[in-house]
Structure formats: structure tokens, C-alpha cells
A and B are shown apart, each in its own frame.
Chain A
Amino acid sequence: MANDQVILLDYWPSMFGMRTKMALAEKGVKYEYKETDPWVKTPLLIEMNPIHKKIPVLIHNGKPICESLIQLEYIDEVWSDASPILPSDPYQKSRARFWAEFIDKKFYDPSWKVWATMGEEHAAVKKELLEHFKTLETELGDKPYYGGEVFGYLDIALMGYYSWFKAMEKFGEFSIETEFPILTTWTKRCLERESVVKALADSDRIIEYVYVLRKKFGAA
């Protein structure tokens, strides 16, 4: 689209922002990245996301689109000529939406509580997280990507969390490669894509960040 103005309000460690960055890169969309600390509610953030006041916010020609999964669908619909993100078949699309929602509704909570909790709660959280990893690995099966032969929506949804895998492993005291080899192979395949690599934060930097957060959460 000629004269498109695309801005992304994002925060470097956000797994949700990483999704949107991947999708924009997959479509070859140029955009302006604005680092936005979600704990500091800037006037622009409040104006663009008055309901949730969270990042990422995609601003396309001045209009805000909030919520990362909604942003992915929007990007797919607006820049529909470039490689598709969602399947065209309604049933396959419904399955992609279902699993993306599973990631945000079920996987998300234990994925951060595993480094933010201690004791009995931590043990329960770790168990839950491992179960969800297993569920996601089972859904992948022997396909190269979640959507089949082509990298897409669900791969983007889960790879957004990839930068945090190392922190989950460290504080959860488990190895993803050992426990979930099929999922590991999939991550390596995804990491061959420039759109993915450029969107992801450095895992070690995330671990440093987690140490800071753990102090805030009183888990240290």
C-alpha cells in the first residue's frame, strides 16, 4: 500500500510484540518501532489503547489495532497479497485460532509463573507447563509447521514465546530439548527464518530481565 504509515508500540521482551514483528516481516511491511515501557503509561499508549493500556499496539495510518492475535489477522487481511499467515480453509482456520487461543489462555499463565513462584505453587505450575508443552508438541505431530507445510499463524503465536524458553528451563529446572524433541526440531526450523530471528529478543537478556522481575514479584 503506497504511503502506508505503520507504527508498532512495543516493549523489547514482549512475546506478544514479537508475534506482530514476525507477521510484519513475513509480509515485508516496513514499520517504525517505538519502544514503549508498558509500566509507564505514556499519553500515546493511553490514547491508542485506552481500554487495556498494553502493548503491542499496531498503528496503521493513525488507527490503532490492539491485541497481538487480532493484529496478526489484521496484517494478514490488509497485506493479503504477500505470503498468507492464516489458512484459507475455514476449518483449518478455526483450528489455528483454537490453538492460538490455547496458548494465550492456558500456556501463558504457567509460562511466567514458572519463574515467578516458589515452593508448592512452583511445583504445580511446572507440572502444568510441561503438560501444555506436551499438548502443543502432540498437536504439531510430524508436520514441519503447525499449519502443515507452510510457516504461519500458530507458528508465529508460539515462537513469540521462544525467547522466554531458556528462562522457563532455567527456573523450571527442565530441558525442552530433552523433554520435547519434536518441538525442539520445529523451533530450529522456525529459527531459519529471518522474520523470526530478527523479531526475537536475546534469551540471555530475557534471563537477566527475569531476575529483575523476580525481585519485583518477591520470588528471589
Chain B
Amino acid sequence: MANEVILLDFWPSMFGMRTRIALREKGVEFEYREEDLRNKSPLLLQMNPIHKKIPVLIHNGKPVNESIIQVQYIDEVWSHKNPILPSDPYLRAQARFWADFIDKKLYDAQRKVWATKGEEQEAGKKDFIEILKTLESELGDKPYFSGDDFGYVDIALIGFYTWFPAYEKFANFSIESEVPKLIAWVKKCLQRESVAKSLPDPEKVTEFVSELRKKFVPE
């Protein structure tokens, strides 16, 4: 088919990073369109009228919304190369479970780490570390979350890494000290071209988060 693939995205979004990685894993050429979230484009509002959020994947004019749904869509449409989800139904269910866990637990927890202060931040940091430890336990000694191959859960989680220095800076702790195996996993993932090309410089993310934090925690 004649493939027109557009990704409406915002560069520091860990959700957009998932879709970027998935497309690159499949060797799909796409047009990246940066959205200004303070001035959303008519196309974004048209393509995601319910949530009005990025990322939006537009494939031959049709929108697919929600990053984790986009990753599954990409896996199904371009199914000939680098499978993202395992073929075994039980392993697929497990991968979906952990991606769901990340979306339900990790995102909210990380927000408290950089967007709050004082006791609320300390409690948030504790929660965040606990969640990372749960994920590290699940990873265990495997190179990737579903075993030998980079896949769905790795894609779901790796984008958060670019925010790690910001968390460390604003909550004053070391993630590597807490979850060394998880950081080793991060380094392995970063060796993949699809990941390296899709993730922004963590320093730039930290600058971005610094500005963002000013809105939530007046100095």
C-alpha cells in the first residue's frame, strides 16, 4: 500500500517516544510533526477530538490514538519485521499487563517527584522508587522484559529514562543506586538505533522540566 505515516508529537513526551521507537523498529518512514501543546493545531483537534493529546499516529489519513494502542497497531500492520509483542497468548497478556502497570502507576508517581515539594515530594519519591523496584523485579536477570528480545514493555518504559536526571535533580536521589539492574537495562536499550534516534537528550529534558516545575512549585 502507498504508506503515508504522520506522527503528531511533542519532543519530551515519553508517550510519543514509544511510537517513534515502534515505527523505527519496523523500518517505517514517517513524517514527524512537532505540536505546540499551548497552541494545538486544527489537525490535532480533528484527529483526537476526545482527548486532544499527542501522540497521534495518522496512517493514510486515519488516526490511531493512545501510544500503547499505536504500538500494537504498528506491530499488527507492519507484522513482517521485528515483532514487538510475543506470539504466545500468555506472554502477550503479561506484556500488556506490565505496559498497563506503567501507564497506571509509573506516570502519576513520577509526576509527584518533579512537580511537588516537601512532604508530598518525599512520599512521591518513595512511591516512585517502589514502582521502579517492582519493574526491576519483573525484569530480573533477563536482558529485556519479555526475555531475549527487545519488545513491548521495553518500548513502554524506556522513554521515561530521559526524565530520570530531572527526577534525580529535583528530588535529590540516585536512581542507579536504587535500581542498578534497571539502569543496566537502560544502557542496553540505548544501544539500539531505534531507541537512540527516538529519545531526546536527557539534559534538554531536564531544562524543559525545570521550566515546567516553575508552574507547579513557585520558588
Contacts and interface: CB of A to CB of B under 8 A. Distances in A.
A and B, one complex? yes
Interface residues of B, number: 21
Interface string A58-101: 00100101110011011001100000000000110110011001
A153 to B, nearest CB: 13
Contacts of B64: 91, 94, 98
A79 B34 CA distance: 42
Contact of B72 (A63, A65, A97): A97
Nearest to A80: B89
Contacts of B72: 93-94, 97
A209 B62 CA distance: 43
B171 to A, nearest CB: 24
A91 B134 contact: no
A102 interface: yes
B133 interface: no
Contact of A98 (B59, B65, B134): B65
B84 to A, nearest CB: 13
B93 A65 contact: yes
A106 to B, nearest CB: 8
B77 interface: yes
Contacts, number: 53
B52 interface: no
Contacts of A73: 92-93, 96
Nearest to B75: A90
Contacts of A77: 89, 92
Contacts of A63: 90
Contacts of A135: 50
A101 B92 contact: no
A66 B97 contact: yes
B152 to A, nearest CB: 12
Contact of B100 (A60, A70, A98, A102): A70
Nearest to B96: A70
B134 A74 contact: no
A74 B89 contact: yes
Contacts of A60: 90
Interface of A: 51, 60, 63, 65-67, 70-71, 73-74, 77-78, 90-91, 93-94, 97-98, 101-102, 135
Interface of B: 50, 59, 62, 64-66, 69-70, 72-73, 76-77, 89-90, 92-93, 96-97, 100-101, 134
6 tightest Cβ-Cβ pairs between the two chains A and B: A90-B76, A77-B89, A74-B93, A94-B73, A65-B93, A94-B64
